[in-house]
Copies of this chain bind each other. A is one copy, B any other.
Amino acid sequence: MTVGPLLYAHERESMAGSELTNMRSPRVKAARRLTKRAYREQDRKFLAEGPQAVREALKLGGVTLELFATAEAELRHPELITEATLQGVPVHRASGEVMSELSQTVTPQGLLAVCGLVHVPLEQALGGADGTPRLVALLAHVRDPGNAGTVMRAADAAGADSVIFTDASVDPYNGKCVRASAGSLFHLPVAIGAPVSAAVRQLKERGLRVLAADGAGKHTLDDVDLSGPTAWIFGNEAWGLPEEILAEADDVVRVPIYGQAESLNLATAAAVCLYSSARAQRVP
């Protein structure tokens, strides 16, 4: 591990050869508490775990505050250690035990970054005061962090301009959500905490057609023209979207079910909707 002289002076625990082995070390405890939402909000930081998330955080730049790495992970991903050091990010070597303590996975991958929050105000996520996004995913009442992260990843892949987590949705900084997003949290603007109505109003004002994805929709994906700018609202897996949200949407659209399945998994349905839009907007 290479550590600049300035870091060397200030970061005694992370100097070459020394390893964090004490789970009660203040540095480990400060990171560990970020597994809880209340502390993430208070400290305005979150954890990004595994080489993929760390790579994307470093690529975005300016968000990685600290990096914990086991000796093994340092050997396996020297380019990430170098990049962190170049960005002036303190790199702490951690023992396997400390990493297990910090990790929220069964098989920790040996790399974990402490990051500053990356979400932006709603207006900014929509491209500023005059922004006219073409594809937006709005998560209303999505509670499962794995689903939310998978939707973020699908939105990113489908070329969406932004993802909005409304006030009743899961925290995008939840460890499972960050992991399921596979780096996408660092790729596209994410807004959090807006009430659904406020978000829908903003989207409509910008000329987007707001479609609620719901199994109770009158129209199916195959019946609607998706070539224009569109925002998709995705709801809770178990009970879909509440009446008042369905009423605010321009249309309620369902993914057609051709077989005997009752419904699709939320993230799967979202991917099918977002890709239908992406295709309709691109393929003549």
Contact = CB atoms under 8 A, between A and B. Distances in A.
A258 B158 contact: yes
Interface in A18-39: none
Nearest to A181: B261
A283 interface: yes
Given A265-B180, A268-B150, A279-B222, A260 B188 contact: yes
Given A222-B279, A271-B272, 9 more contacts: A150-B268, A153-B264, A157-B261, A182-B261, A182-B265, A221-B279, A222-B283, A275-B275, A275-B276
Given A271-B271, A272-B272, A182 B255 contact: no
Interface in A184-232: 184, 187-188, 221-222
Interface residues of A, number: 40
A86 interface: no
- Say how many copies of this protein the assembly contains: 2
Contacts of A262: 52, 182-183
Interface centre among A154, A155, A180, A275 (most CB of B within 10 A): A275
Interface string A261-281: 111110111011001101100
B261 A278 contact: no
Interface string A151-183: 001111111100000000000000000001011
A160 B222 contact: no
A17 interface: no
18 contacts: A150-B268, A153-B261, A153-B264, A157-B255, A157-B257, A157-B258, A157-B259, A157-B261, A157-B264, A180-B265, A182-B265, A183-B261, A183-B262, A184-B259, A222-B283, A256-B278, A272-B275, A275-B275
A282 interface: yes
A154 B268 contact: yes
Interface string A118-162: 000000000000000000000000000000001001111111100
Contact of A259 (B188, B255, B271, B282): B188
Nearest to A257: B157
Interface string A79-117: 000000000000000000000000000000000000000
A221 B282 CA distance: 12
Interface of A: 52, 150, 153-160, 180, 182-184, 187-188, 221-222, 255-265, 267-269, 271-272, 275-276, 278-279, 282-283
B272 A187 contact: no
A282 B258 CA distance: 10
A226 to B, nearest CB: 12
B259 A158 contact: yes
Closest 9 interchain pairs by CB? Answer: A159-B258, A157-B261, A187-B260, A156-B261, A268-B271, A156-B259, A159-B259, A272-B275, A157-B257
